[in-house]
Chains A and B, each alone.
Chain A
Amino acid sequence: MTPIVVQGVCKNFGALQALDGISFAVEAGEIFGLLGSNGSGKSTLLRILSLLIAPSRGTISMLGRQVQKKDSSLLRQMGVVFDQTPHYEHLTGFENAWFFARAYEVGDTEIESRLRHFFTALDLWERRDDLVGIYSHGMKRKLALIEALAHHPRVILLDEPSLGLDYHSRMSLYQLLQERVQSGSSIIMATNDVHEARLLCDRVALMRKGRILAVETPDALIGSLGGYAILEMRLDRPIPFDLLKGVPGIAQSEATVRENGSYGIRILARDDPRILPTLLAEITPHASLIGLDIKRPDLGDVMLRFGGGADAS
């Protein structure tokens, strides 16, 4: 039985179509990523999957049940972290986690050991008896993750799970998620972090304007840009924003961070030796080239190509 099957899900908010014909399935032991820019519909989809809002059309089957609003037995097997993570500020971190674990009906004896495991893994054990009111944003985020995972849910829905976490905590979180996956949980994770998606997700759905553009493994998605290369140029001054639009062979360009007095520009272009001279002919009247790196594309470039390019369709 496939734990999560989404078929033709649409969601309208008045005249706005937030989701349009979303379909995918997630297997047991799989991490499925939702990758897309802001407003692409990732959070709306997660809210529908967590039974908070109903789809306008389409069906969702989860753990063999048709999803309806407020299905207690289904919610008992789900763990959810939203982008907002409010807590009871006058309770300690441990008391907060305890309350949520008990709400999911975890037995008294099990809670202690499970919470100890999660608090220790996310480096929060020594601060467990502090009031949440004095926790930092990152610590609150870790606590929300503990609250979502402590009852060992079979379906885990995460919206930007590593937002605000330091590097060490991110790695610990990835390890915890892998633990859950190895025990058969299915994870759907919305993220803007392409590196996280590549590292963690078995498959990724690229979303744009409420639609899924592609569902593939991260490697296959990157492979879809096989005929492309990334040109990272450093210039002595900025060039006009739309200068490279319409240059043959250029799929995408974006300004990057200014470094040491230079201006960066990152270009996704066809892997064709004739491109570079054409590009330089366009750029040199406006700026001088200080440096150039040529790289293979990564998942971020796939996202740019599908999500923001003029020829994204």
Chain B
Amino acid sequence: MRPDRLWQREILEQVRRRRSCVVKFVLPLVLTAPLLLLHVPESVRADAFTLLLIFIGVFGTAVGLIRARESGMMVRLAVLPASPARLTGEYLLTHSLFDGLQFLVPLLLIAAPRTRDPFTLIVLGLTFFMVIFAANAIGGMVAVAAGSSGEGHLFAILSVLVVMGLSGLFRDIEGRLDPGIFLPFHYFRDVLLSSAFPIPGIVLSLVVVAALFGTTLLISPRLFRML
């Protein structure tokens, strides 16, 4: 394949890095294995899996973009006629897709014992990808804000902690649902836990994801600035 667009180039590079590709697909299975094999409360399982998605999305994108900027690649891309928003959008969508593929099998393994209802699985899949898109968009914002790799790691950790707190993850050791306010992470966790999916939650989650993505694209020209 000869890459015409940035998203094709990203896919090609991901596929070419075989070792990294294998690690990326094995790691989610390894990380979720304790959640599947051990007797952990279902709320902890849902919390941990949601957190894992947030963590991978935020860190993967933030570190990838910061590294590209530090290598000088963003400056090279900045002199192309394509807009920063288009380049950033293609990058985020491609990496979101990869993150989704990596965690698809663990998701099915976690969800399968709870439900086989196709409609529930579709909603679960939708909210799953919304979580990943949102996490990648936050990773993009982290990369814009950070001036170096060190700052990037710090901002990524802070972002994950804030998102985790706002989403109501790991708040209630009694197993009761603790109301979080930050969609779509909170909503995904609820769907994973209870197989209930109030429609307004999906719509609101979509709005939040779109807002996060839109904000990242809006501030993306700063990603291509000279350090």
Interface residues of A (CB under 8 A from B): 47, 50-53, 70, 72-73, 75-76, 78, 80, 82, 84-86, 88, 90-91, 94-95, 98-100, 102-105, 131
Contacts and interface: CB of A to CB of B under 8 A. Distances in A.
Given A91-B9, A95-B2, A86 B82 contact: no
Interface residues of B, number: 23
25 contacts: A47-B226, A51-B79, A52-B78, A52-B226, A53-B226, A70-B78, A75-B79, A75-B81, A80-B79, A82-B76, A86-B76, A88-B9, A88-B13, A90-B13, A90-B16, A91-B3, A91-B9, A91-B13, A94-B2, A98-B2, A98-B4, A99-B3, A102-B3, A102-B4, A103-B81
B218 to A, nearest CB: 14
B80 A70 contact: no
Nearest to B20: A90
Nearest to B15: A90
B147 interface: no
Nearest to A75: B81
B197 to A, nearest CB: 40
Contacts of A94: 2
B71 A86 contact: yes
Nearest to B221: A70
B80 A104 contact: yes
A89 to B, nearest CB: 9
Nearest to B77: A103
Contacts of B83: 70, 72
A75 B80 contact: yes
A87 B84 CA distance: 18
A99 B9 contact: yes
B48 interface: no
B2 A100 contact: no
The residue among B2, B17, B73 with the most chain A CB atoms within 10 A of its own CB is B2
Contacts of A75: 79-81
A271 to B, nearest CB: 46
Contacts of B82: 72, 103
A95 B3 contact: yes
Contacts of A76: 81
A82 B72 contact: yes
A105 B76 contact: no
Interface in B59-75: 71-73, 75
B163 to A, nearest CB: 31
A100 B80 contact: yes
B162 interface: no
Contacts of B39: none
A52 B80 CA distance: 11
Given A52-B78, A104-B81, A98 B3 contact: yes
A95 B78 contact: no
Nearest to A131: B16
A50 B79 contact: yes
Nearest to B8: A99
Contacts of B9: 88, 91, 95, 99
B80 A103 contact: yes
Contacts of A70: 78, 83-84, 221
A82 B75 contact: yes
B73 A102 contact: no
A82 B13 CA distance: 23
A73 to B, nearest CB: 7
B79 A52 contact: yes
B116 interface: no
- B9, B81, B84: most-surrounded residue (chain A CB, <10 A): B81
A72 B81 contact: yes
**Residue of A98, A102, A103 ringed by the most chain B CB atoms within 10 A:** A103
